[in-house]
Structure 1
């Protein structure tokens, strides 16, 4: 099963040194042991929230597996580390997950309708989502169909100071928007 995993730099998780490729362990109990990963990339941020001090990978979870119902975390006995994700790749995968599973419970990292970037990113979802950030921040948009909540458009931009300006509100079409201040 394809999933996502966060690590401290150098493929380290809770003191354990992982290797690229296949890693194996004996038991998988989500609350106590096994190799942990998440089906929703954004759930990795629950455990490795500082993107500048973490690495994120696509993994293949296999062997015995266990879930505990807390977010989309999985524990498994076989974890194959496939590819390191850039910050942009990470959020594109997160948007793809949202689009593929529009009716699932939202990650706590997704903000409804209007978001200002915090910790280097904003993931915003709604009928007409808008987001703003400072230079270097990632803005990720999931635009919903107003009738059924399915995702009809995703977009990703980095505030670069040229095409996407700091402290300016943007919509999913990546055009500037006027936003009323609360």
Structure 2
């Protein structure tokens, strides 16, 4: 099962009553799994990891494989398993892409998140100091941000997702501080601020 896990910068994570050291590519095994008790905790929805490890330049996030006996918690994407392998470390653009992939694959699941350095909301989102990822989802999603942060748009119509786009502010024509939305063809369109006077 594909999952995600956050760590300190030296790849440590809280494990039971102490701190556990992880290594990329290694498979870890535990005898049993129970949410908030024993086993290896991870999340199906990457931003849920930011409740414990803020998205910043000190936390690290990995795509993982959870296996063995799996225990899932109702009401959130937390997964606890008896086996866990760290597959690949994710950079900021990867984090945005994997987050949006989950939203597209599971459009009816809980997805709004505004903790730990992310703003993922209906209709409009933005990055600022301390917020490194902004994603808006709606019939006219509007996103803007500061240089070097990740931004994403998910366009939907009558509850159906019809287009998605992700990028980094300052790259691929995404200008800092400029509001954009996307078309059904995934083209960026600048949005004039209706509150500004001419």
Instruction: Tell me if both proteins adopt one fold, taking TM over 0.5 as the criterion.
Output: yes
The reply on whether 1:69 has 2:74 as its aligned counterpart is: yes
| 1:59 aligned partner | 64
Distance across 2 between alignment mates of 1:51 and 1:153: 28
| 1:17 aligned partner | 21
In the alignment, is the contact (CA less than 8 A) between 2:64 and 2:87 conserved in 1? Answer: yes
- The 5-angstrom pairing of residues 116-135 of structure 1 reads 116-118=126-128, 119-135=131-147
- The 5-angstrom pairing of residues 1-182 of structure 1 reads 1-14=1-14, 15-20=19-24, 21-109=26-114, 110-118=120-128, 119-145=131-157, 147=158, 149-160=159-170, 163-172=173-182, 173-181=187-195
- Cα deviations across residues 103-161 of structure 1 (Å, max 9, x unaligned)? 1222324211011214112111101101111111111111112x2x1211111121117
In the alignment, is the contact (CA less than 8 A) between 2:134 and 2:151 conserved in 1? Answer: yes
CA displacement at 1:162 relative to structure 2? 7.6
Q: Secondary structure at the match of 2:4?
A: strand
Unaligned runs of 5+ in 1: none
Q: Go from structure 1 to structure 2 and tell me whether the alpha carbon gap of 1:181 and 1:122 turns closer, same or farther (over 3 Å shift).
A: farther
Please give the root-mean-square deviation of Cα atoms over the aligned residues, in Å.
1.8
Moved more, 103-112 or 70-79: 103-112
Q: Go from structure 1 to structure 2 and tell me whether the alpha carbon gap of 1:83 and 1:161 turns closer, same or farther (over 3 Å shift).
A: closer
Distance across 2 between alignment mates of 1:131 and 1:82: 31
What is the TM-score normalised by the length of structure 1?
0.91
Distance across 2 between alignment mates of 1:133 and 1:179: 14
Q: Go from structure 1 to structure 2 and tell me whether the alpha carbon gap of 1:64 and 1:171 turns closer, same or farther (over 3 Å shift).
A: same
Distance across 2 between alignment mates of 1:11 and 1:33: 19
